[in-house]
């Protein structure tokens, strides 16, 4: 049985194990391709009409907008390093699913930026395999490195997170 906090337990379907692994690999390729500067490989992880939230900068829809929005940041960053964990996948149909995962990211650019939050994904199986149809973000914090006061303030707003002495107004 799989227990989800927002729903009743559902029986695990062992026949979906290959799909779960493929979705895990899709999420891993997202970080490796972006961090490795492979723009075309990264764009190919999305369906032709896929949507990606570009941090606090807005959204890109479709392969052309993804290329236009990400070419310069991927080219000019000295480095990018994403870490993801705590993946949850829910199948919504034979060829569709949704999922969440936690992330932390560090960018080497001027100024250096770091952040953390939750990815909210929608997936569709295509002829090329599973692809993102949508990836949006809930941030715990995002901003220039070296500003701990601001990071603490945003982190204290994380749902369910309580810290001794934190201002939760």
pLDDT in tens, 103-125: 999 988 777 889 999 999 999 99
The per-residue pLDDT for range 33-86, each reduced to its tens digit, is 999 999 999 999 999 999 999 987 899 999 999 999 999 999 988 999 999 999
- Going from N- to C-terminal start, the domains of the chain cover 14-155
Neighbours of 99 (CB within 10 A): 21
What pairing do the DSSP bridges indicate for beta strands 79-93 and 96-108?
antiparallel
Note every long-range contact of 71-74, with CB atoms under 8 Å and residues 24 or more positions apart, other chains counting.
71/39, 73/109, 74/34, 74/37, 74/39, 74/42
Residue pair 134/51 in contact (Cβ under 8 Å)? The answer is yes
The verdict on domain 14-155 having CATH code 3.10.450.50 is yes
DSSP character at residue 126: E
Q: Whole-model pTM above 0.85?
A: no
């Amino acid at each position: 049985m799989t227990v989800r906090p927002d729903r009743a337990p559902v029986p695990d379907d062992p026949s979906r194990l290959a799909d779960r692994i493929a979705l895990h690999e899709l999420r891993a390729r997202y970080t490796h391709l972006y961090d490795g500067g492979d723009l075309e490989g990264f764009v190919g992880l999305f369906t032709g009409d896929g949507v990606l939230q570009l941090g606090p900068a807005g959204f890109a829809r479709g392969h052309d907008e993804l290329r236009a929005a990400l070419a310069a940041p991927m080219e000019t960053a000295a480095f990018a390093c994403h870490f993801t964990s705590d993946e949850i996948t829910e199948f919504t149909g034979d060829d569709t699913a949704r999922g969440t995962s936690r992330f932390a990211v560090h960018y080497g650019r001027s100024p250096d930026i770091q952040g953390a939050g939750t990815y909210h994904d929608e997936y569709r199986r295509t002829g090329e395999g599973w692809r993102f149809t949508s990836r949006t973000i809930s941030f715990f914090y995002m901003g220039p490195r070296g500003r701990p006061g601001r990071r603490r303030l945003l982190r204290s707003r994380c749902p369910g997170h309580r810290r001794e002495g934190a201002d939760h107004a």
